[in-house]
Amino acid sequence: MSDNVSDTEKSGVEDAYYEQARYVRNGKYEPLLAEKDSTRVTIDDDESPLPADLTRDTLELPGLSEPELARHYTRLSQMIYGIDTGPYPLGSCTMKYNPKFTEDVAALESGAVHPGRSPETIQGTLELLYRLQGYLAQIGGMDAVTLQPPAGAAGEFVGIRVANAYHEHNDEGHRDEVIIPESAHGTNFATAALGGYNVVSLPSNDEGRVDLEALEAALSEQTAALMLTNPNTLGLFERDITEIAEMVHDVGGLLYYDGANLNALLGRARPGDMGFDVMHYNVHKTFATPHGGGGPGAGPVGVVDELAPFLPAPRVREVENEYELFDPERTIGHVHGYQGNWLVLIKAFAYIARLGDEGLLDASAKAVLNANYLASQIDYEVPYGPFHHEFVASAGEQDAADVAKRMLDFGVHPPTTKWPEIVSEALMTEPTEVESKETLDLLASAFRRASASDAETLETAPSRTAAGRIDQTSAARNPRLSWHALDEE
Amino acid sequence: MHGTRTSGSPYAPHTDDDTAAMLEAIGADSVDDLFDIPEGVWFDDEFGIPARSERETRALVRRTLEKNESLVELLGRGHYGYYVPSLVDHLADRSEYLTSYTQYQPETSQGFLQALFEYQSLLVELTGLEIANCSMYDAATALGEAATLAERVRETSGHRVLVPDTILEGRRSTLENYVAGTDLEVETYPTWEGTVDLVDLERQIDEDVVMLYAENPTVSGSIEPNLSEVGSLASSSDALFVLGSDPIALSLLQRPVDVGADVVVGDASVLGLPTSYGMGLGLFATRESYLRQVPGRLVGVSEDDQDRRAFTLTLQTREQHIRRERATSNICTNQAWVALRTAMHAAMLGPDGLVDLAKRDVVRAESLAERLNELDGITAPANDRRHFREFVAHVDDSARAIARALEERGYAVHVLDDDHIQCCISGVTEADIGGFVAAISEVTQ
């Protein structure tokens, strides 16, 4: 002991602290706000500006000082792994570095306007939206773009609703099927079902790509659309895309592009040129706006000319150097109360404007280089290939979820696990262009160390995170979803 | 560092030597060789977007946004600007919050999960309902999800969804898109003096109604005087009673659970976000009996392998990434970071601050209405309901002309039709209100 406080005294002080915050069972834990302080306010009839029958009686919530809150949320932030903490190779999620200057750009006060403002008084906002529409149309090879959808899945929904409106308009309302490859994002299936469609699941061929014979069998007069991403979730380019587009178009269906993997194609291929009729862009992925722990995102939708009249209202257009809002002729209406997630859109605009042609082209080049390099450096088997921006390894005899937990112990975030199901014990890995060779080597080492771990170590990992392995089953069996539920214990 | 950094993306760290070493390890000659794109679909053209420095990009955005006129916004109608404390910006902008993904690995996401759990808890206290999810996109999409929930949980058949005739166009239209794939049909019921017309509503309700939607306060800022009766009408026909509101209004107004609400939807970003051109945060709270049918993500409490309390996403078997076309909703990315900001803002205010803010919204709206009512040519409010933060005013001259003249003097108000404007006090200071009264008295002279 080099300090003046004896062991006993020191632990006495700590005990007192823990006693005070009695819910802390381990020094790493931060109590809930309500466990630190809970204040009940009574709505006093005499002081209320409203009669008692219009008001509640009481409100009970935490009532802490600003310094206490600063510490609470700072401590919580220290128990979170983000892309600024280390590599985050979540396949299909495209977790790339988020430039800081875009935060400052989004915080410009003139950008914080009310959606009820008259268009004449917010020409700057409308001009930025208009220019972003143009950038996205160029990048996707599309004719018209709406910025309204607040996330990728919301963009898918617009795509499906637009397809529906288009078919209805052409007296083809009988089309009630949407074809989706088995390896597609879960949102595709859920979106098609929300749109009222029956889902026809499409198996992959033994190369991991669309099976043209299976597609032929699935296509019919009932087909409204095929939802596809390219490269697909295995990181493989659908080489037969031109033929696929022809087959879908021949039966009168539309081809939908899921933009989740667009980062692999920037400047090298465009969905519009491949024959896609409608697509969404995940700007929070491809154009590096922060994911914010699960959102907000933005999912603009691009379409070819024939579908433009059906896009959501309103859109932005330029008329004689003025920007105005307009409702497309046969619009499906709104998919969001106002104009979508402005703060995300402006960051995407700044990102694209910063990179330009040169930067976008380089982003896809380095993303593909990094994925191929990392795939070549790990011990797990990587079926299929050649890869674009991501690859799916198989953990083989190991449980992919255990492998992920073990990788946490090596200071990296693990890949997406157990999906797509066509690879057993899948480890779906997407390093993106922002990782250096040195970091990729660190990731490869984490993969190798996990693959060499014995069964017991795998099953009990992680051991270096704020929490140990969490019991998911008990959480679902006995749902406790608010601090009020904890009070009852 | 070996070699020079290659040009292109400013965020790709590769040097020439790195690239060469990596290509060699892969066994490829060039990066272009790695692209497995057939000849016919190679893009050989350019976008024509020039690369810019960070400084130039910031200047471009600033220059463009400076074209927005600087106006004092007395605007509301479903989207509200409130002052957001600096603490919220500084804490929420910590990069661990901003740059993390959905908490699929809970062991290394405990902080965010706890913050979202606290957000859910806040909504449970405000609504009195047992559960809240950790966000939808905005009020309109939350309303759409409520309707699809109603279709799933209501045991009897039926297809009518009733909404007030004053509902915002964006909300109604979004709702209609959400129910387009179901048998549900959206109908409006009449309002009178800005609130529900109970007599007409009763006539319209039958067992075919699966969902009844009302708002408190209403879009015109009126406080519903008979909310319990509306709830009773819904339960009499076994319809789901969905109430639209927001966290600030709920701090003072009747608790939804006490008026029979089955679901509360609305925009929770009244706390935590500035006006943001309509960006929102969908509030969604409901009864525990509907738990397995709830859309969106839920954070729950569990234990880790040392029996310590730990947080995790739970009941994910409802969600699209597991159940695909049988999921309760297609939502995946939500508004998590906005929910974090809302929880922070609410915590910053505390229960006293929230109740005081809500009371102030009543007092200031009524005070502004009184001041406008003293002017010639204006009747404010246009109905005799009590008001929360905003109200409709009748104007004798053209409402459009008045609004235009106000814009020239630096103030923005809503124009409802030729004879009505709407004014909201949430985003403005007392000095702004003084200036506004002076301006409108000039304009209506």
Closest chain A residue to B226 measured between Cα atoms?
A: A54
Say whether B351 and A30 touch across the interface (CB within 8 A): no
- Residue A9's pLDDT is what? 45
Please give the mean pLDDT across all residues of chain B: 96
Closest CA to B436 of B74, B164, B134, B107: B74
- Residue A111's pLDDT is what? 87
Give dist(CA B343, CA A269) in Å, integer: 43
Give dist(CA B252, CA B246) in Å, integer: 11
pLDDT above 90 coverage of chain A, percent: 90
Q: Model confidence over A162-208: pLDDT tens digits?
A: 999 999 999 999 999 999 999 899 999 999 999 999 999 999 999 99
pLDDT above 70 coverage of chain B, percent: 99
Say whether A294 and B337 touch across the interface (CB within 8 A): yes
List the 305-334 stretch of B: residues with Cβ below 8 A of A.
305-306, 308-310, 312, 314-317, 319-327, 329-334
Say whether A341 and B331 touch across the interface (CB within 8 A): no
In which band, very low, low, confident or very high, does the pLDDT at A45 lie, cut at 50, 70 and 90? Answer: confident
- Residue A1's pLDDT is what? 33
Say whether A433 and B11 touch across the interface (CB within 8 A): yes
Closest chain B residue to A36 measured between Cα atoms?
A: B347
Q: Counting runs of H as helices and runs of E as strands, what totals does chain A give?
A: 17, 14
Q: Model confidence over B21-55: pLDDT tens digits?
A: 999 999 999 999 999 999 999 999 999 999 999 99
**B6 vs B310: which has the higher pLDDT:** B310
- Side-chain-side CA neighbours of A210 within 13 Å: the count stands at 29
Segment A46-75 shows an average pLDDT of 96
Closest CA of chain B from A364, distance in Å: 9
What is the per-residue DSSP string for A383-429?
Answer: -S---SS-EEEE-TTS-HHHHHHHHHTTTS---EES-STTSTTEEEE
Spatial CB neighbours of A392, under 8 Å, sequence gap ≥ 6: A91, A233, A234, A235, A382, A383, A384, A420, A423, A426, A427, A428, A429
Q: Per residue, what are the HEC states of chain B?
A: CCCCECCCCCCCCCEHHHHHHHHHHHCCCCHHHHCCCCHHHCCCCCCCCCCCCHHHHHHHHHHHHCCECCCEECCCCCCCCCCCCHHHHHHHCCHHHHCCCCCCCHHHCHHHHHHHHHHHHHHHHHHCCCEECCCECCHHHHHHHHHHHHHHHCCCCCCEEEEECCCCHHHHHHHHHHCCCCCCEEEEECEECCEECHHHHHHHCCCCEEEEEEECCCCCCECCCCHHHHHHHHHHCCCEEEEEECHHHHCCECCHHHHCCCEEEEEHHHCCCCCHHHCCCEEEEECHHHHHHCCCCEEEEEEECCCCEEEEEECHHHCHHHHHHHCCCCCCCCCHHHHHHHHHHHHHHHHHHHHHHHHHHHHHHHHHHHHHHCCCCEECCCCCCCECCEEEEEECCCHHHHHHHHHHCCEECEEEECCEEEEECCCCCHHHHHHHHHHHHHHCC
Say whether A349 and B61 touch across the interface (CB within 8 A): yes
- Chain B residues close to A471, C-beta within 8 Å: 302-305
pLDDT above 90 coverage of chain B, percent: 95
Closest CA of chain A from B420, distance in Å: 15
Segment B300-326 shows an average pLDDT of 93
Closest CA of chain A from B151, distance in Å: 12
A-to-B residue pairs, Cβ atoms closer than 8 angstroms: 651
Segment B9-31 shows an average pLDDT of 96
Q: Model confidence over B189-248: pLDDT tens digits?
A: 999 999 999 999 999 999 999 999 999 999 999 999 999 999 999 999 899 999 999 999
Closest CA to B70 of A121, A342, A346, A339: A121
- Chain B residues close to A405, C-beta within 8 Å: 105, 107
Please give the mean pLDDT across all residues of chain A: 93
**At residue B360, does pLDDT exceed 80?**
yes
**At residue A23, does pLDDT exceed 50?**
no
- Residue B276's pLDDT is what? 95
Q: Which two tokens stand for residue B201?
A: 């509503």
CB-closest option in B85, B305, B322 to A460? B305
- Chain B residues close to A435, C-beta within 8 Å: 13
* Exposure string over A92-123, b if 16+ CB within 10 A, otherwise e: bbbbbbbbebbbebbebebbbbbbbbbeebbb
Q: Model confidence over A208-260: pLDDT tens digits?
A: 999 999 999 999 999 999 999 999 999 999 999 999 999 999 999 999 999 99
List the 186-205 stretch of B: residues with Cβ below 8 A of A.
none
| Cis amide linkage into residue A89, ω under 30° from 0 | no
Closest CA of chain B from A397, distance in Å: 21
In which band, very low, low, confident or very high, does the pLDDT at B154 lie, cut at 50, 70 and 90? Answer: confident
Query: C-alpha distances in angstroms, A59 versus A55, B83, B96, B286?
Result: 11, 22, 31, 18
Give dist(CA B52, CA A466) in Å, integer: 41
Give burial (CB, 10 Å; 0-12/13-18/19+) of A237. Answer: buried
**At residue B347, does pLDDT exceed 60?**
yes
- Residue B93's pLDDT is what? 97
DSSP label at A465?
S
- Residue B205's pLDDT is what? 95
Q: What is the pTM of this model?
A: 0.96
Give dist(CA B150, CA B173) in Å, integer: 18
Say whether A372 and B26 touch across the interface (CB within 8 A): yes
Q: Model confidence over A265-302: pLDDT tens digits?
A: 999 999 999 999 999 999 999 999 999 999 999 999 99
**At residue A26, does pLDDT exceed 50?**
no
Segment B323-334 shows an average pLDDT of 93
List the 21-50 stretch of B: residues with Cβ below 8 A of A.
21-23, 25-28, 31-32, 34-38, 40-43, 46-50
Segment B155-182 shows an average pLDDT of 95
Spatial CB neighbours of A458, under 8 Å, sequence gap ≥ 6: A398, A399, A402, A403, A405, A406, A450
Give dist(CA B436, CA A472) in Å, integer: 56
Closest CA of chain B from A310, distance in Å: 13
- Chain B residues close to A82, C-beta within 8 Å: 95-100
**At residue A6, does pLDDT exceed 50?**
no
Spatial CB neighbours of A439, under 8 Å, sequence gap ≥ 6: A86, A87, A431
- Chain A residues close to B102, C-beta within 8 Å: 291, 293-294
**At residue B19, does pLDDT exceed 60?**
yes
CB-closest option in B79, B174, B298 to A116? B79
**At residue B155, does pLDDT exceed 80?**
no
In which band, very low, low, confident or very high, does the pLDDT at A450 lie, cut at 50, 70 and 90? Answer: very high
Contact A368, A411 (CB under 8 A): no
In which band, very low, low, confident or very high, does the pLDDT at A28 lie, cut at 50, 70 and 90? Answer: low
CB-closest option in B174, B305, B362 to A337? B174
pLDDT above 70 coverage of chain A, percent: 94
Say whether B178 and A66 touch across the interface (CB within 8 A): no
- Residue B1's pLDDT is what? 46
In which band, very low, low, confident or very high, does the pLDDT at B249 lie, cut at 50, 70 and 90? Answer: very high
**At residue B349, does pLDDT exceed 50?**
yes
Q: Model confidence over A94-118: pLDDT tens digits?
A: 999 999 999 999 998 888 999 999 9
- Chain A residues close to B351, C-beta within 8 Å: 39-41, 59-63
Segment B62-91 shows an average pLDDT of 97
Say whether B335 and A150 touch across the interface (CB within 8 A): yes
**At residue A15, does pLDDT exceed 50?**
no
- Chain B residues close to A73, C-beta within 8 Å: 91, 94, 115, 344
- Residue B17's pLDDT is what? 95
